[in-house]
Amino acid sequence: MTSLWLTEGSAGPGAAPLPDRCDVAVLGGGIAGTSVALHLAERGAEVVLLEREAIAARASGRNDGQLLLGLGEHYHRIHGQFGAERARLLWRFLADNHAAMLAAVRAHGIDCDLHQRGGLRLAETAHEAHELEQAAALLHAEGLPHELVAARDLPRWLPGSRGFHGALFLPGEAIVQPVQLVRGLARAAAARGAHCVLGAEVAAVTGTAGDLELRLRDGRRLRAAVAVHCTAALAPQLDRSGFLARTVFPFRGQVLASGPVLDASFPDFAMSSNFCYEYFRHSRGRFVVGGKRWSVPGEEVGIVDDATHNPQVTANLLGYVREHFPALQDVAFPHVWTGIMAGTPDGLPLCGALPGCPGEHAFLAFNGYGLSFAFLAGRCLAEQIVDGTQAHAALPLFAPRRFALA
Ligand SMILES: Cc1cc2nc3c(=O)[nH]c(=O)nc-3n(C[C@H](O)[C@H](O)[C@H](O)COP(=O)(O)OP(=O)(O)OC[C@H]3O[C@@H](n4cnc5c(N)ncnc54)[C@H](O)[C@@H]3O)c2cc1C
């Protein structure tokens, strides 16, 4: 059960041999690991990326490929949760992430089917439409680009849809083919000297800052001055301190994709409804839709198995498609897959020193929004590791120690 993106994705970098030692060992080759490896290599660090399977094999190759603003949340809710100042910082960080990542996509010539046409947050109910108005009022007050779309205008924005109560358009959002994006970043990292060692499962990390030893499952060893954990929901297995086991939890998302049934009138926006719990997009004529984990008992929290899917989630996603897109009533969805995300109690990622483990850094738990965070956060972390600077004002919001101090 693999994703549409993985079946059609371009190749990653060729597998490199394992050296004896390096400056920085990066564990995991998803969007987090490839981003930080690229930025470290660009800053002259000798980097070894250790990936137990292939680049983008897990969540980074199994998501919906949407570059979102605002944690997928409506803006007034971010204000409510974090306060006005931190909400503004977060929004700016995500906008800066997209700008930096898309600049890199262009600079490195990464062909990832990028469509930078904005995003449409649709209201599932009249209540959500009212919340979108509240979000729009705050965006307006802060001079952030957006457009409120009335329900009567939706046929023009999203032809063939029904049952939505209005929408908020965010021009800064985009969609990509995520496997091609992440493998492109890995090739760029390799071109700058990073060693991407594939089929390299890390079994244990021992030692301390400046003298860490990473033991692989097959018995090989690597010495490194610094290690960056980018293994998402599996990171607690390698954390000697127990901090990540207390802080990070897994949850499973599910996606369906049709064959080529859409024509060019179906927009290429990043799209979602129901407070981003359901999300959908156009990809080369195919309708790709995910979400509905809230509709089953347990909400797929605690699951780390992405080799199976939940048939009830599949049925509920098909119901969503039929409710909102009547023309797709009888369309088959031959592609079904799942992916495992990592979450934290406050919904923000971990990016920085791993408490209790000198020389080790956590760079993980994007709470379902890794494409929106990881490129710029990876650059900030690389700068912190290489020359101790803190490159973005939002970075303290992601410091793992916020949970150690709690
Ligand atoms: C269904 C779904 C839809 C989503 N939609 C979106 C979206 O539209 N937009 C968005 O921004 N985000 C989305 N996400 C979230 C996004 O996919 C994740 O936040 C992101 O991919 C996490 O990247 P990562 O590098 O931290 O983890 P992963 O991509 O999971 O990478 C971790 C890597 O570590 C490797 N690894 C694990 N253990 C070891 C070990 N011991 N040794 C070596 N390697 C190891 C794994 O093989 C894996 O390749 C979605 C996720 C899912 C599942």
> Is residue 42 situated within a structural domain?
yes
Asked whether 12 lines ligand 1 (CB < 6 A), one says no
**pLDDT higher than threshold 70 for residue 406:** no
> Is residue 48 situated within a structural domain?
yes
Residues 280 and 334 in one domain: yes
Asked whether 355 lines ligand 1 (CB < 6 A), one says no
* Average pLDDT score over residue span 54-74: 93
Nearest alpha carbon, ligand 1 atom 9: 66
Asked whether 371 lines ligand 1 (CB < 6 A), one says yes
Please give the biggest Cα pair distance in the chain: 64
Asked whether 33 lines ligand 1 (CB < 6 A), one says yes
Complete edge-to-edge strand list for the sheet that includes strand 278-283: 147-149, 167-170, 119-122, 270-273, 278-283, 286-290, 249-260, 335-343
Asked whether 234 lines ligand 1 (CB < 6 A), one says yes
Report the SS3 class of residue 160: coil
Point out the ligand 1 atom lying closest to the alpha carbon of residue 57.
49
Residues 166 and 275 in one domain: yes
* Average pLDDT score over residue span 45-52: 98
Nearest to 185 by CA among 395, 398, 370: 370
Asked whether 288 lines ligand 1 (CB < 6 A), one says no
Of the chain, the percentage scoring pLDDT greater than 90 comes to 94
Q: What is the pLDDT of residues 117-171, one digit of tens each?
A: 999 999 999 999 999 999 999 999 999 999 999 999 999 999 999 999 999 999 9
**pLDDT higher than threshold 90 for residue 49:** yes
Residues 269 and 400 sit within 8 Å (Cβ to Cβ):
no
CATH number of 188's domain? 3.50.50.60
Point out the ligand 1 atom lying closest to the alpha carbon of residue 368.
15
Residues 26 and 164 in one domain: no
Residues 233 and 250 sit within 8 Å (Cβ to Cβ):
yes
CATH number of 167's domain? 3.30.9.10
Least confident piece of the model among 9-23, 83-97, 194-208, 225-239: 9-23
Residues 265 and 337 in one domain: yes
State the total domains in the chain: 2
Asked whether 28 lines ligand 1 (CB < 6 A), one says yes
Residues 216 and 190 in one domain: yes
Residues 300 and 184 in one domain: no
- Give the structural domain span for 139: 115-176+249-343
For ligand 1, the distance from its centroid to the CA atom of residue 233, given in whole angstroms, is 8
> pLDDT-based confidence at 5, cuts 50/70/90?
very high
> Is residue 206 situated within a structural domain?
yes
> Is residue 289 situated within a structural domain?
yes
Q: What is the pLDDT of residues 349-404, one digit of tens each?
A: 999 999 999 999 999 999 999 999 999 999 999 999 999 887 799 999 999 999 98
> pLDDT-based confidence at 10, cuts 50/70/90?
confident
Helices and strands, counts by H and E, the chain = 11, 18
The confidence score (pLDDT) of residue 303 equals: 96
Substitution candidate for ligand 1 out of 3, 63, 282, 361 with most atoms within 8 A of CB: 63
> Is residue 311 situated within a structural domain?
yes
> Is residue 90 situated within a structural domain?
no
pTM recorded for the entire structure = 0.97
The angle at the Cα of 374, spanning 142 to 68, to the nearest 5 degrees, equals 45
Residue type, 402: R
> Is residue 388 situated within a structural domain?
yes
Residue where one domain finishes, among candidates 301, 323, 343: 343
Burial class from Cβ neighbours inside 10 Å (0-12, 13-18, 19+) for residue 111 reads exposed
Which token pair is 28?
Answer: 């995991």
Burial class from Cβ neighbours inside 10 Å (0-12, 13-18, 19+) for residue 249 reads middle
Q: What is the pLDDT of residues 235-279, one digit of tens each?
A: 999 999 999 999 999 999 999 999 999 999 999 999 999 999 999
Residues 170 and 37 in one domain: no
Least confident piece of the model among 196-205, 298-307, 390-399: 390-399
Q: What is the mean pLDDT of the chain?
A: 96
For ligand 1, the distance from its centroid to the CA atom of residue 171, given in whole angstroms, is 25
Nearest alpha carbon, ligand 1 atom 16: 370
